[in-house]
Chains A and B, each alone.
Chain A
Amino acid sequence: MHLLLVGISHKTAPIDLRERVDFQARGIELALRTLAARNPGGGPGELAVLSTCNRAELYIACDDVVAAKSELVSFVSAFHDVDHAAIAPHIYDVTDLEAARHLFRVAAGLDSLVVGEPQILGQVKEAHSAARQAETAGPLLNRLFHACFAVGKRVRTETNLGSGAVSVSYAAVNLAKKIFGTLEGRSVVVLGAGEMGKLTAQHMKSQGVRQVTIVSRTIAHAARTAEAIGGATAARWEDMDAALSASDIVITATGAAAPILTKARVESVMRPRRGRPLFVIDIAVPRDVEPAAGEIDQVFLYNIDDLQASVRENLARRASEVSRAEAIVDEELGKFATWMRSRGVIPTVVALRQSFESIRRAEVDRLDFKLSALPSDVRDEARARVDEITHLLVEKLLLTPTEQLKSLADPETAAIYADAIARVFALEEAEAKSDSRVEPFRAKPRPSGRR
């Protein structure tokens, strides 16, 4: 049995194509059900669909990789009604451990458009829970996804891959949080009714800012922008100083040619504040705030270049953390690989246990007539004892061989051992005799209608 990944992402496909193969549009559950009905590549029929705005990936456990691949590609094209020839060149596929590595890297944020972005881990979790709900996640995919959650969590806590803001408005919000703790209950004044100021104010608003005031030379403009932000108020240009005195954060984004906030003006605004800090974000070019205003105690002045520099620094820092994150991926992949390999010998282990168990049963049954001769008050007790002792004996005899088999690292060696054990204990004959063999790969019985 193999693990197969087939998908497209921002690395292989342009945006218009990615938009068309968005599984979320028609529902992941429908996709899972449709695909489960086809059971591509045969085998246990384990499936999961990971769909975000930058990627659409199908993870399946199957027996025939080649058949499954072509079936999955035609499924994607049919499900989304996209021409097969148009989509096929953009699709990538990887198998087994490389597929696992891919998912681990995705969960870690290493494969994202913005490296280290935090949303992806949640989206991977959603993909897994959707597969569980549709009952298409079996032991292999469950193990795979749990392993990738561990990778995501470790990368987040042990590296700085996701740290630092990587956009200007995020950088502004992060700085504000470092000064004020939380933005809840804070008030923001925006000078200028332009687009940039509006966007930053909206971002602040989504972080729980209590009040946003737009100040513009034309009150009508201010009112319009305030309405667009929602829940914001407009103030007249003449009332600017009063608004500034009452605010915690000032965003300046006017088109003025000369600085509006001179050092003297900021000083006069600061006086009634009694040392309450003021965070001034000047995103206008040319600048709206005199640089000297940043020298005033308790005034933190950042212009667009400062914010961009911090964004660049953060991107560079993230890049330098990539190798640490990759090391975590490798480490967890090693653990997953050991588990995958140990699965190869599971049929042999199961057959061996069943063979031993049937011998034990037969002997216990054979002994039973002697036990029936015992007085009735001790008979049941004796039976229970015999059953318990023989069971323990079999367990103990099998413990070491089972562990040894599972710990074999090299799949070829494992196959040789498995073969040798099968011959020595005549496991195939035993299998042929017994119809009650449990298939070890099956997750749980699924309603037959879905297959």
Chain B
Amino acid sequence: MNLIPLVLYFCAFVGYSLHFARRTPVSARLATTMLAAATLAHTFIIGMQTMQVGQVPVFDATSAISMFVWLLAVAYLYTEVTTDERAMGVFILPLILALQAIPAFKRTAEVRSSVLQGPLFGVHVSSLLFAYASFALAFVIGITYVLLFKEIKTKHLGVFYARLPSLQVLDQMNQRAIVVGWVFLTIGLIAGGVFALEAHAPAMSIEDPKILVSLICWVVYSFELFAARRIGWAGRKAANLSAVGFAIVLLNFVLISYFTSSHKF
């Protein structure tokens, strides 16, 4: 079922590429409409799954990724509508496509552990997903920052110079996304810790790679947020740091979920 949004997201990607190349009002409308349609279809599917299981479907990695993609699409649509900047779409959609391919071609788990219940678990998973979506957005904004930075620095003003907002605006957007992400990451981690204590879950320790990597992630983003600018790591370095942070997020979210047995109950 997750195939339908994947196809629609692909159409939106074509729309945004077209808009990036042509920049006509028609292509702009087309791109946004396609993405809105994809997000709507995705909302519908997640809604149906929620009705089926009686809870937001986030208890296994595959459905959590689907949820994450949906959050990312909504967050991006929100920034697009509020800033009227569409140049970023062509960067964000490949990420959406790559991640949505996982739930589209992989079946979700049907059995769920009885441990994974209660409000704290919900807070834990949804905060983390929202944090990851924000970090993904920050990562994409960071990439565009670096691309524009290079064009201005090397004096080859071209494709990105004509299409992207200013460095200052990109830097602010990146920072804002990281602030939001960091707040939810912190909430998610605390909720997870408290939940683990309450549920007496087995094997909850720093040795669990997922927990370890999450903590590293928190340290990286905390550094970017509170220390980087004080030591002069602004602009390009901050953008690179958000790429590093997101690489860790992806490692944690996708690789560790599928290729190790950690954090499973």
Which residues of chain A have a CB within 8 Å of any CB of chain B?
157-158, 160, 163-164, 175, 177-181, 271, 273-277, 294, 297-298, 300, 302, 306, 309-310, 313
Report yes or no: A181 in contact with B165, Cβ–Cβ below 8 A: yes
Q: Which partner residue on chain A sits nearest B167 by CB separation? A: A179
Using Cβ atoms and an 8 Å threshold, which residues of chain A touch B118? none
Report yes or no: B232 in contact with A273, Cβ–Cβ below 8 A: yes
Shortest CB-to-CB span from A328 to chain B, Å, is 11
Against A, the Cβ 8 Å flags (1 = close, 0 = not) of B127-168 are 000000000000000000000100011010100011001111
Q: How many residues of B contact A (CB 8 A)?
A: 23
| Residue B229 CB within 8 A of the other chain | yes
Q: Which partner residue on chain A sits nearest B236 by CB separation? A: A297
Q: Which of A157, A277, A294, A297 contacts B167 (CB 8 A)?
A: A277
Which of B25, B152, B157, B234 is packed against the most chain A CB atoms within 10 Å?
B157
Using Cβ atoms and an 8 Å threshold, which residues of chain A touch B167? 178-181, 277
Q: Which partner residue on chain B sits nearest A175 by CB separation? A: B152
Shortest CB-to-CB span from B160 to chain A, Å, is 10
**Chain B contact residues: helix, strand, loop or mixed:** helix
Report yes or no: A298 in contact with B234, Cβ–Cβ below 8 A: yes
Given A157-B25, A277-B235, decide whether A177 and B157 contact each other with a Cβ distance below 8 A: no
Shortest CB-to-CB span from B18 to chain A, Å, is 14
* 9 closest cross-chain pairs (CB), A and B: A275-B234, A181-B168, A275-B232, A181-B166, A274-B232, A181-B169, A180-B168, A178-B166, A306-B155
Q: Which partner residue on chain A sits nearest B238 by CB separation? A: A275
Q: Give 15 A-B contacts (CB < 8 Å), ordered by A residue.
A: A178-B166, A178-B167, A179-B166, A179-B167, A179-B168, A180-B167, A180-B168, A273-B232, A274-B230, A274-B234, A275-B237, A277-B234, A300-B153, A302-B155, A309-B155
CA distance A276 to B230 in the complex (A): 11
Shortest CB-to-CB span from B87 to chain A, Å, is 13
Shortest CB-to-CB span from B225 to chain A, Å, is 15
Using Cβ atoms and an 8 Å threshold, which residues of chain B touch A306? 155
Report yes or no: B168 in contact with A275, Cβ–Cβ below 8 A: no
Using Cβ atoms and an 8 Å threshold, which residues of chain B touch A160? 162
Against A, the Cβ 8 Å flags (1 = close, 0 = not) of B166-181 are 1111000000000000
| Residue B78 CB within 8 A of the other chain | no
| Residue B223 CB within 8 A of the other chain | no
Shortest CB-to-CB span from B151 to chain A, Å, is 9
CA distance A181 to B234 in the complex (A): 16
Report yes or no: A274 in contact with B152, Cβ–Cβ below 8 A: no
Shortest CB-to-CB span from A323 to chain B, Å, is 16
CA distance A105 to B109 in the complex (A): 64
Q: In the complex, how many residue pairs between chain A and chain B have their CB atoms under 8 Å apart?
A: 59
| Residue B55 CB within 8 A of the other chain | no
| Residue B231 CB within 8 A of the other chain | yes
Q: Which residues B193-245 have CB closer than 8 A to chain A?
A: 229-237
Using Cβ atoms and an 8 Å threshold, which residues of chain B touch A181? 165-169
Report yes or no: B166 in contact with A275, Cβ–Cβ below 8 A: no
If A157-B25, A180-B168 are given as contacts, then 11 extra A-B residue pairs at C-beta distance below 8 Å, sorted by A number, are: A158-B25, A160-B162, A175-B157, A181-B165, A181-B167, A274-B229, A275-B232, A275-B237, A297-B235, A298-B236, A310-B157
Using Cβ atoms and an 8 Å threshold, which residues of chain A touch B148? 178
CA distance A273 to B232 in the complex (A): 7
Q: Which partner residue on chain A sits nearest B169 by CB separation? A: A181
Using Cβ atoms and an 8 Å threshold, which residues of chain A touch B261? none
CA distance A274 to B233 in the complex (A): 7
Using Cβ atoms and an 8 Å threshold, which residues of chain A touch B234? 274-277, 298
| Residue B24 CB within 8 A of the other chain | yes
Using Cβ atoms and an 8 Å threshold, which residues of chain A touch B162? 160, 163-164
CA distance A276 to B237 in the complex (A): 12
Using Cβ atoms and an 8 Å threshold, which residues of chain A touch B169? 181
Shortest CB-to-CB span from B83 to chain A, Å, is 12
Shortest CB-to-CB span from A71 to chain B, Å, is 43
Shortest CB-to-CB span from A304 to chain B, Å, is 12
Using Cβ atoms and an 8 Å threshold, which residues of chain B touch A177? 166
CA distance A164 to B235 in the complex (A): 25
CA distance A271 to B169 in the complex (A): 23
CA distance A80 to B162 in the complex (A): 45
CA distance A298 to B146 in the complex (A): 12
Q: Which partner residue on chain A sits nearest B233 by CB separation? A: A275
Shortest CB-to-CB span from A389 to chain B, Å, is 45
Report yes or no: A275 in contact with B235, Cβ–Cβ below 8 A: yes
Shortest CB-to-CB span from A275 to chain B, Å, is 3
CA distance A310 to B235 in the complex (A): 24
Q: Which partner residue on chain B sits nearest A309 by CB separation? A: B155
Q: Which partner residue on chain A sits nearest B234 by CB separation? A: A275
Using Cβ atoms and an 8 Å threshold, which residues of chain B touch A158? 24-25
Shortest CB-to-CB span from B158 to chain A, Å, is 9
Report yes or no: A157 in contact with B24, Cβ–Cβ below 8 A: yes
Q: Which partner residue on chain A sits nearest B230 by CB separation? A: A274
Which of B25, B162, B232, B236 is packed against the most chain A CB atoms within 10 Å?
B232
Q: Which partner residue on chain B sits nearest A314 by CB separation? A: B157
Report yes or no: B152 in contact with A300, Cβ–Cβ below 8 A: yes
Given A163-B162, A298-B234, decide whether A178 and B152 contact each other with a Cβ distance below 8 A: yes
Report yes or no: B166 in contact with A297, Cβ–Cβ below 8 A: no
Shortest CB-to-CB span from B185 to chain A, Å, is 24
Using Cβ atoms and an 8 Å threshold, which residues of chain A touch B165? 181
Against A, the Cβ 8 Å flags (1 = close, 0 = not) of B14-39 are 00000000001100000000000000
CA distance A333 to B24 in the complex (A): 21
Given A158-B24, A300-B153, decide whether A180 and B166 contact each other with a Cβ distance below 8 A: yes
Using Cβ atoms and an 8 Å threshold, which residues of chain A touch B157? 175, 310, 313
Shortest CB-to-CB span from B38 to chain A, Å, is 26
Which of B24, B153, B155, B233 is packed against the most chain A CB atoms within 10 Å?
B155
Using Cβ atoms and an 8 Å threshold, which residues of chain B touch A273? 232
Q: Which partner residue on chain B sits nearest A248 by CB separation? A: B168
Using Cβ atoms and an 8 Å threshold, which residues of chain A touch B235? 275, 277, 297-298
Report yes or no: A274 in contact with B236, Cβ–Cβ below 8 A: no
CA distance A275 to B162 in the complex (A): 25
Report yes or no: A179 in contact with B233, Cβ–Cβ below 8 A: no
Using Cβ atoms and an 8 Å threshold, which residues of chain B touch A310? 155, 157
